[in-house]
Structure 1
Amino acid sequence: MSGKIDALIIGGGHNGLVCAYYLARAGMKVRILEARNIIGGAAVTEEFHPGFRNSTASYTVSLLQPKIIADMDLEARGYKVIERPKSNFLPLGDGQFLLVGGGLEATQQEIGKFSAKDAERLPAYYEMLETAAVILRDLALKIPPNSSGGAASLLAAIQQGRSFVKLSPLQQHHIVKLFTLSARELLDQWFESDPIKAAFGFDAIVGNYASPDTPGSAYVLLHHVFGEVNGKSGQWGHVVGGMGRITELMAEACSELGVEISLSTAVEEVLVEDDRTDTVRTSTGETVSAEHIIANVGPKLLYDRLIKPAHLPPDFRQMMDGYQCGSGSFRMNLALDGLPDFTDLSGEGDHLKSGIIMAPSLDYMDRAYLDARADGWSRKPVVEMLIPSLVDDSLAPSGKHVASLFCQQFAPILSNGRSWDDERDAAVNAILDVVETHAPGFRQLILGQMALAPLDLERKFGLISGDIFHGRMSLDQLWAARPVIGSASHRGLIKGLYMCGSGTHPGGGVTGAPGHNAANAILRDRSLLGRIFG
């Protein structure tokens, strides 16, 4: 790229690509520095065993913003999502199971096996969630107000709160509960059957190192249902080609606008002088300058490792010291010789194309968390399995399959001097023991595997403490407090520094929203009105 760089983005994950696209579309010269030799951050498709490819970290899609899909022309470029025929399959033991999804009536029929009352209440529960989801969708692509922004931020807060004020008192009541209650408290107010509570409560602990009894865990449940696939709210699906297909297409859109993407170029330090930055130093000693430095890495990585503490005020360092990271997640990718056979629902069927949740109750999830808190990781963890090769035959040889295992609860950092390098294999065995309980003979199907403990997620993807969301999704770390109060409008603490990763509003998942919002903040600041009122 010739000439001066207007914007330099640290990290080539999907949010960095989205931010780069909007800035380049506005005429800015943009360069992305990516530490790995592949673009995409945690949304990548890689070969993990000869002939077998999979989404090695992020593994399913719903939250990617429709506006971003349209603006980047992703569908015309080849973006295609296969919807899950059923949302989730829960094997419960003793020949019992629950299938959720496939339409309201189908789900009511399934729930009716356990409770007619719960089946009757389901439409009202869905309506309650959708009311809250509408507000989240409305806020997702808006820059949150900053506490230090004066009158402009106060006005923004009022404007962004209008959708809540317009709701009825009952609707407001439900939303407050969603943001403050534990998942169990919320679900106990709606349902009586344990399997139904488990099906919905699972979303509350995805990427959340917490019990379903933890206050605020109900919000994480909501965060996972505000997306859509193919125009259908709350739907989840498989991207053909894996999650890396999304970032490949995004990189293509960026390149067409002149964005320079530099792979295998890790940033070692953000250089600060006179309380501002316009330069970074890479691990090879190269310095790269730009008018705007944009961090598409988590707040902990940015402020604890890339910026020297002397450049950060004591009050801010104190807030960042309290920033909670560590989602308790363990990821496995498996190459399979065939399909698993579940005792509770044998043979092939739509249940194998769903999210297979091996956690039959909220009590099971609570014990998994308490076990991890006591001893580092759960001996009976929560395991979700997806088999994307059933709908995408490009991922595995004919007759073979790949499986994604997303597992909770595993402590981000082990105590007593233990390391995940020493505990990884034992944790893998615990995970496979859970699968074997429901699908005997599963181990014999495994041809190869990739196991990613929290430490591996940090090493491979730069996710500090293995946090897939770049920081806990709790009320104290959301909206105008994400990552912390006073640094929430995608503008970093230091002049010239911006943030576009999942550690900013609206949070984790493959949404693209933080990248979109950060680009808007930068473009506003470059405009005359931005300089006057920003």
Structure 2
Amino acid sequence: MASERDILIVGGGHNGLVCAAYLAKAGLKVTVLERRHVVGGAAVTEEFHPGFRNSVASYTVSLLNPKVIADLELHRHGLKIVERKVSNFLPVPGGYLATGEGRTKSEVAKFSQKDADRLDAYGDRLEAIADVLRDLVLQTPPNLVEGGLAQAIPELLKSASLGRKLSHLDMTAKRDLLALFAQSAGDWLDGWFESDPIKAVYGFDGVVGNYASPYTPGSAYVLLHHVFGEVNGKKGAWGHAIGGMGAITQAMAACCRERGVEIRTDVAVAEILVEKGRAVGVVTEKGETLRGRAVVSNLNPKLLFGKLVDRSFQPADFAERIDRYRSGSGTFRMNVALSKLPDFTCLPGPGDHLTAGIIIAPSLAYMEQAYADARAHGWSKAPIVEMLIPSTLDDSLAPPGQHVASLFCQHVSPTLSGGRSWDDHREEVADLMIATVDAQAPGFAASVVGRQVLSPLDLERTFGLSGGDIMHGNLSLDQMFSARPVLGAGDYRTPIAGLYQCGAGTHPGGGVTGAPGHNAAREIIKDARRGRLRAA
């Protein structure tokens, strides 16, 4: 007999909503529980200064999976995505580099004709790997299991299928794949290019959400992770959701409601209820008990198993591995209200470059020093700042003639040493970030009429991003694919029967993709059809 609720989803971020939409379409009764007053997790749009709205945490569109967009009919539910007119804009001493369709080669040639001549080969080689891995994004990883042949055969078949996909790569691509998984972004790019600007633009993707030097082994994969995306069918493009990132999750919520999902906000979960070794519901912070046939977590695995699941229900080695799960991306996030557009010394006046991702980090060496400073001091003396000005593409975000900007700032330490708290240093570091932009665009600081500042601690408190980690855990080789978050729990199931995960702490990881939610729903639906979801 079915219970009143089949599925309880803890956390109404975008993956939780995606999972709910697929489960509801399959005929399951789903309730989403969100701690905040609005669903969307880190992908929300809010007013942060009177008359100024912005994407508060996540800030740009590229990785949102096309299948998720189509299956949830997000465009019918109001989502509109527009492409940046310039992909990236990088001020450098004595000039700038602007990348984008039809212009990258001539821009790179300003610094190195040799590098310009290598761009096509670089793009083709990277895309060959990205195409194969893009296909794996919506696959459930083979899960390392204990038990007999009956348990192992399905996972062996998955492994064989994966092997067939990778076998289609030629030897050049296989060698590139090995390098990208093992090397640093810096080593990978140094092997391709000689000029600092193009290495800085591409290398920035290797440290986004990754508290590491661009020369840290494994950071090349983080670079590759950001190549998977597309906007409106154009691979590798970056875009903006009209109305901000909240427009994505509001469209998802509309789809959920249309399919009969119950969405409850201002409901903080205090405990996953486990009886006889099985998750059967949740207890809220207000003391309400809600029961269901299964519970699905959209939270960071450290938060789920560290705070909501009693340790006595977790296998000892599993709990120990979760304790060691590395989470903390060194992110400092700001939203600023501007009285006018910034005016860059290297390219004065308005223009399409102001629609780009504006990267203030002119070289890999600059990024490496920023990481070293953060490790030693807590934050970079010369930080990495990516600035977007979404109001150049979307006039709904600010009053006429004024603008909003997103500042995605790195590197800062997820936690400060010596007993220091981010609460005591938040504004000091925010001033440094503003000054870093002002050095490239004099007058920027004076144009700031309001700001919202989110340190790693604030990101954790507000959005549940442990250590400010936008990826819900490092994208390192030991925390990817079948090992995300832990070997033996890589198929969205957990060691506790009836408890699943659907967040970015599962394959394929972070970014506003919807893929973990899509994949988790498929596994839950399989279990429901096989009778593995018992009545609560």
Common fold by TM > 0.5: yes
> What does residue 374 of structure 2 align with?
372
Question: How far off its partner does 1:93 sit?
Answer: 2.4
| 2:152 is aligned with 1:155 | no
What corresponds to 1:325 in structure 2?
Answer: 327
Q: Deviations over 1:207-262 (max 9, x none)?
A: 00000010000000011111100100000001001000011011011001110000
Distance 1:352 1:98 in 2: 13
AA aligned opposite 2:317: D
* 1:526 CA drift (Å): 1.6
The separation in 1 between residues aligned to 2:296 and 2:530, in whole angstroms, is: 21
What is the rounded CA distance, in whole Å, between the counterparts of 1:303 and 1:217 in structure 2?
Answer: 27
Map of 1:40 onto structure 2: 40
Letter of the 1:100 counterpart:
T
Superposed displacement of residue 158, structure 1: 1.5
- Distance between the aligned counterparts of 1:180 and 1:273, measured in 2? 43
Q: Which amino acid aligns with 2:351?
A: G
TM-fit CA distance, 1:3: 6.2
Q: Match for 1:115 among 109, 112, 116?
A: 112
- The equivalent of 1:425 in structure 2 is 427
Residue 77 of structure 1: SS of its match in structure 2? coil
CA–CA distance in structure 1, aligned partners of residues 327 and 311 of structure 2:
19
Counterpart of 2:358, as a letter, is I
CA distance in 2, matches of 1:349, 1:515: 38
Match of 1:503 among 505, 508, 513: 505
Sequence identity (%): 58
Q: Please report how far the alpha carbon of residue 273 of structure 1 lies from its aligned counterpart in structure 2 after TM superposition.
A: 2.3
Residue of structure 2 equivalent to 1:389: 391
| Residue number in structure 2 paired with 1:128 | 125
Deviations 1:46-91 (A, max 9, x none): 0000000000000000111111111111112221111011110000
Tell whether the 8 Å contact from 1:93 to 1:438 is kept in structure 2 after alignment. Answer: no
Within a 5 Å distance, the mapping from 1:319-468 to structure 2 comes to 319-468=321-470
How far residue 161 of structure 1 moved from its aligned partner, in angstroms, is: 2.6
Which of 466, 488, 498 lines up with 1:486 in the alignment?
488
Q: 1 CA distance for matches of 2:381 and 2:307?
A: 33
Segments of structure 2 that go 5 or more residues without pairing to the other structure are 146-150
> What secondary structure sits across from 2:485 in the alignment?
coil
Query: Which of 518, 525, 528 does residue 527 from structure 2 map onto?
Result: 525
Give 1:319 deviation, angstroms: 0.9
**Equivalenced residues, count:** 527
Contact 1:379 1:427 (C-alpha < 8 Å) held by counterparts = no
Distance 1:110 1:495 in 2: 55
Structure 2 distance, partners of 1:200, 1:406, is 16
Q: 1:262 is matched by which residue type in structure 2?
A: R
Shift of 1:165: 1.2
Match of residue 247 from structure 1 = 249
| TM-aligned CA deviation for residue 180 of structure 1 | 0.9
Q: CA deviation at 1:265?
A: 0.1
* TM score, norm. by length of structure 1: 0.97
1:523 to partner: Cα distance: 0.7
- In structure 2, the residue matched to 1:260 is 262
Paired amino acid for 2:122: Y
Aligned-partner residue type, residue 476 of structure 1: D
Corresponding residue SS for 2:513: coil
Q: Which residue does 1:291 correspond to in 2?
A: 293
d(CA) in 1 for partners of 2:532 and 2:188?
A: 42
> Which digits, 9 at most, give the CA deviation of each residue in 1:497-517, with x for residues without a partner?
000000000000000000000
The residue number in structure 2 matching 1:471 is: 473
Partner of 1:100: 99
Aligned to 1:144: 141
Conserved in 2, the CA contact under 8 Å of 1:294 and 1:499?
Answer: yes
Matched residue SS, 2:76: helix
Deviations 1:435-474 (A, max 9, x none): 1110111111011000000000001101111110100011
Q: One-letter code of the match for 1:380? A: A
How much does 1:416 deviate?
A: 0.8
Q: CA deviation at 1:102?
A: 2.2
Q: Assess if the C-alpha contact under 8 Å between 2:3 and 2:292 holds in 1.
A: no
Give per-residue Cα distances to partners, 1:484-507, cap 9 Å, x unaligned.
111110002210000000000000
Preserved contact between residue 11 and residue 35 of structure 2 (Cα < 8 Å): yes
Gaps of 5+ in 1: none
Asked if structure 2 preserves the Cα contact closer than 8 Å seen for 1:275 and 1:494, the reply is yes
Q: Structure 1, residues 339-382: CA drift from partner, whole Å, max 9, x if none?
A: 00000010011110000000000000000000000111112110
Q: Name the structure 2 match of 1:193.
A: 195
Equivalent position SS for 2:159:
helix
Indicate conservation of the 8 Å contact 1:330/1:408, yes or no: yes
Contact persistence 1:412–1:465 (CA under 8 A): yes
In 1: Cα distance, 2:286 partner to 2:114 partner: 64
- Amino acid across the alignment from 1:251: A
User: What residue is the counterpart of 1:30 in the other structure?
Assistant: 30
Q: How does 1:300-315 map to 2 (within 5 A)?
A: 300-315=302-317
